[in-house]
Homo-oligomer: A and B are copies of this chain.
Amino acid sequence: MNITKGGVCAAKGFKASGVYAGVKDNPTGKFDLALVASDIPADTAAVFTKNKVKAAPVLVSIDNLKKTGGIINAVILNSKNANACVHDGIETAKAMCKATAEKLKIDTEKVLVCSTGVIGQSLPIDKITAAVPTLIGKLSENGNADAATAIMTTDTFKKEYAVEFTLDGKACRIGGMAKGSGMIAPNMATTLNVITSDVKISPDLLRTALSDVTEKTYNCLYIDGDMSTNDTIILMANGLAANKFIDSVNADYESFKNALFEVMKNLTIMLAKDGEGASKLLTANVTGAPSFEVGKTVAKSIIGSDLLKCAMFGEDANWGRILCAIGYAPADIEISPIEVSLASKRGEIAVCKNGEGLNFSEETAADILSEYEIEINVNLHQGSESATAWGCDLTYDYVKINGDYRS
């Protein structure tokens, strides 16, 4: 498996584009409307927010997947406005699908729709539908960067990742794009994500793979504990790689799933790095867990502690906060065997053993924590499973960004 270029356009038969439709207030010309389309209908799996307040595009996409049996051609996405909690939400979300479908000459239901941004303001649908012809006109095999840029909100960089691998001698690809960077939460940390592949795989296995990999990637991401109304992951597979059809859990399926994990893991890490106001990437590695679930619960409890996030921002090896967060994780664990160390590329330092503090050099610890990427390594010593969660520190800039978001 190799990293490759092209994001959502890396896979055969996928094109993308991005334009400025005028949803973003300031006439900066920053793109705010994106399209990803497959040359042929693609089997499509998706995961949506578990928030009871679901934005209109989420409801419309769920409906369209049901109506088409998961056979989808395109996804249209806008940023700056979430199209959530407004009286005309469903109407405008459907209008986005319709405008796209008419121009692409496909059924309206074969288009999915995603929105991200402020909640509670009506979408300027006329601006969007007026921009659709240009958006479609720009569709290209090199349009991935434009699309990835158009879905950015408070993101500071676009997020794309793609890999190439072979299945029975055929070159296959999986590529994706994602946007952050706040309202990213423990129970369904997704935000907007579109992933495309040219692999030929059964719809059932596509869904299983997406669900399994989501559990170990996006669902292990924690920025601020707020679960969005719009979170969506869409995975499209159009089969154009012409590999031997994957219809059972065989070696090819494992290769596909590994490649999907690689893409989604790297997008997850990008989301963590670009968490609102983040100055450090935090990775919590929990080993010696009785199960993946327990390891994940502990890792996310650590990465979700505001107090620890502040300590990491301050480069303070305040490991008591790690143990405290382990202690209130909703998991059945023993505290007495636990070991904790802090690491970065400058080294690793043990700070806690048998659930108790160790004498350590504060100077060495501060040196290790001065790095941008910090690892919090916890060995529970009560099993052989492991889990990793990703997050970032809590900084002045998080407060600044979110104290003044709408304006």
* Residue contact A316 to B399, C-beta cutoff 8 Å: no
Interface segment out of the listed A30-38, A172-180, A196-204, A222-230:
A222-230
Does A343 reach chain B (CB closer than 8 Å)?
A: no
Q: Which of B118, B227, B228, B318 contacts A405 (CB 8 A)?
A: B318
**A86 proximity list for chain B (CB < 8 A):** 356-357
Q: Which residues of B contact A85 (CB under 8 A)?
A: 320, 323, 352, 355-357
Select which of B224, B316, B320 is within 8 A of A307 by beta carbon: B224
Q: Are B50 and A402 in contact (CB under 8 A)?
A: no
Which of chain B's residues have a CB closer than 8 A to the CB of A41? Answer: none
Contact A119 B187, beta carbon cutoff 8 Å:
no
- A118 partner residues in chain B, CB cutoff 8 A: 318, 320
Contacting residue for A399 out of B51, B120, B224, B399, CB 8 A: B399
Q: Determine the distance from Cα of A324 to Cα of B352 in the docked complex, in whole angstroms.
A: 38
A376 CB, min distance to chain B CBs, angstroms:
15
Segment with Cβ contacts to B, from A68-76, A247-255, A326-334: A326-334
Question: Which chain B residues border A395 with CB–CB below 8 Å?
Answer: 399
Q: Closest CB-CB distance, A69 to chain B, in whole Å?
A: 28
Contact status B53-A304, CB under 8 Å: no
**Can you name the residue of chain B whose Cβ is closest to the Cβ of A358?**
B120
- A407 contacts partner chain B, Cβ-Cβ < 8 Å: yes
Q: Known contacts A306-B225, A356-B87; decide if A316 and B406 are in contact (CB<8 Å).
A: yes
Query: How far in angstroms is the closest Cβ of chain B from A319?
Result: 6
| Residues on A facing B (Cβ under 8 Å) | 50-54, 82, 84-87, 118-121, 182-183, 185, 187, 224-229, 304-307, 310-311, 313-314, 316, 318-321, 323-328, 333, 335, 352, 355-357, 394-396, 398-407
**The 6 nearest A-B residue pairs measured at CB:** A119-B320, A314-B403, A53-B327, A310-B402, A120-B357, A227-B328
